[in-house]
Structure 1
Amino acid sequence: MTMQNFTIAIDGPAAAGKGTLSRQIAEAYGFHHLDTGLTYRATAKALLDTGLPLDDEIIAEKIAREVELGGLDRDILSKHEIGEAASKIAVMPSVRRALVEAQRRFSEKQPGTVLDGRDIGTVVCPQAPVKLYVTASPEVRARRRYDEIVGRGGPADYAEIFEDVKRRDERDMGRADSPLKPAGDAHLLDTSEMSIEAAFQAAKSIIDAALNRNT
């Protein structure tokens, strides 16, 4: 690992704040950023758009290998129905392998990269010099998701969102292939009572120390 190829791996459950934090870190350091969850959503959207089945692993893998990581539109891919479809293909081992290969290639970009997801520090980039595990209580994460939807003018039911958060946690943490869990050497950031700026400053001190060790 050199200063020309420095990877920051950020994992955590849904609505913990890792996406916002990852984008802020990438901008601050001039690194490339990839929300790996969007790669699964892009695969799912391609299947939905072409009317292909979501339960055929061979077809899903083929589509996954065609996903262009430079053209991921967060606004489009954030739709609920795409997320539900993505959760179905994300448990397929061959789809995960195809997308992990693409994510690893992305992580080699210079001068550095920030990848966020659920298995970055454990599977995609286990040798990353900085690993962060960003989390928050389910109640806080559900409230954030609720506020986000309402802020966009959409209808939202907190109780329903809270149950959805818990279901996603169970699915992500309980799957046999690449379950969501912190890497053994990951730094834990609990953002339940932490502002995004406080989380950024905490992450920055960890990253700066690692960068200094690599100079």
Structure 2
Amino acid sequence: MRKITIAIDGFSSTGKSTVAKKLAKALGYIYVDTGAMYRAVTLFALENGFFKEDVLDKSALIKSLVTIQLQFKFNEETQQSDIHLNGKNVEKEIRTLRVSNKVSPVATVPEVREKLVAMQQRMGKDKGVVMDGRDIGTVVFPEAELKLFMTASPEKRASRRYKELLDRGDKVTYEEVLKNVQERDRIDSTRETSPLRQAVDAVPFDNSDMGLEEQFERIHQFALRIINQ
């Protein structure tokens, strides 16, 4: 069975990572969460004081990029790959609303995207990979055999994200989460470098009224049809 590259793009909180992980496991592929990479860089910026009154000191971040090392390591306890920032597992820290509120400005910095795109391309050079993010099908792997573009209404996405954060014990309001989703949509879609957009040959996938299992089954069948061509 031949190996392909699967690129899953779309808006925040559309469940890209959840479906991508499940798909990679079913196919025996490597899964790469590119959003986690941008979140880890954002955490680095926060921890090093590069945000001043919500304004990112881009020059300070750019100068520090050479010191940032990112790795995905398998977690035996969770049976998932966790991201490590300079040797430290930061999987939990990067999923907070604190990081979510700052990740879009970091992701607009061209030098950040250049560094992470190069890392992502190295990770997927041998195919047999499922990668999700904002620019995988348009920038990272424009030749990917299967491209999906996932979307859902902002309200549906905010509800899912709100429940996820509450389940983790975070103290947030639905209004805060909805505002974050809408603002990230605006920034992701309007940034100059690699804006979020659907690749012309991507399969649009609106999961507003779709459960996880239905999403997975449909996407799994898409993948198998292409793999078996």
Q: TM-score scaled to structure 1, two decimals? A: 0.89
Shift of 1:68: 2.0
Change (3 A) 1:164 1:51: closer
Match of 2:20 among 15, 19, 22: 22
Which residue, out of 52, 55, 58, partners 2:57? Answer: 55
Gaps of 5+ in 1: none
Give, in angstroms, the shift of residue 48 of structure 1: 3.1
Match of residue 78 from structure 2: none
Give the 5 Å matches for 1:77-88. Answer: 77-88=94-105
Q: Scaled by the length of structure 2, what TM-score is found?
A: 0.84
Give 1:77 shift. 1.4
1:125 aligns with 2:146: no
CA distance in 1, matches of 2:17, 2:66: 22
> C-alpha distance in 2, partners of 1:76/1:163?
21
Which ranges of structure 2 fall in alignment gaps of 5 or more residues? 74-82, 84-89
The offset of 1:29, in angstroms, is 0.7
Q: Write out per-residue CA displacement over residues 92-127 of structure 1, whole angstroms, 9 at most, x where no aligned residue.
A: 1111111101011111245x1111000000111100
Q: In the alignment, is residue 7 of structure 1 matched against residue 5 of structure 2?
A: yes
Please give the alpha-carbon distance, in whole angstroms, between the structure 2 residues aligned to 1:160 and 1:85: 14
Q: CA deviation at 1:64?
A: 6.1
Moved more, 85-94 or 97-106: 85-94
RMSD: 2.0
* Cα 1:63/1:69, change in 2 over 3 Å: same
- Does the aligned pair in 2 maintain the 1:42–1:67 contact within 8 Å? no
Q: Which has more strand, going by share of residues?
A: 2
Q: How far apart are 1:78 and its partner, in Å? A: 1.1
CA distance in 1, matches of 2:163, 2:71: 29
After TM superposition, the structure 1 stretch with the greater mean CA deviation from structure 2, 141-150 or 52-61, is: 52-61
Aligned-pair identity (%): 37
1:1-215, aligned counterparts within 5 Å?
A: 3-4=2-3, 6-52=4-50, 54-57=56-59, 59-60=61-62, 62-63=64-65, 66-71=68-73, 72=83, 73-109=90-126, 112-213=128-229
The size of the alignment, in residue pairs, is 210
Between Structure 1 and Structure 2, the one with more helix by share is 1
Question: Residue 170 of structure 1 aligns to a residue in which SS?
Answer: helix
Q: Distance in 2 between matches of 1:195 and 1:113?
A: 24
Structure 1's 65 and 98: CA in aligned 2 closer, same or farther, altered over 3 A?
A: farther
C-alpha distance in 2, partners of 1:20/1:162? 20
Dislocated runs of 4+, deviation >6 Å = none
Q: Aligned pair in 2 of structure 1 residues 153, 109: CA closer, same or farther (>3 Å)?
A: same
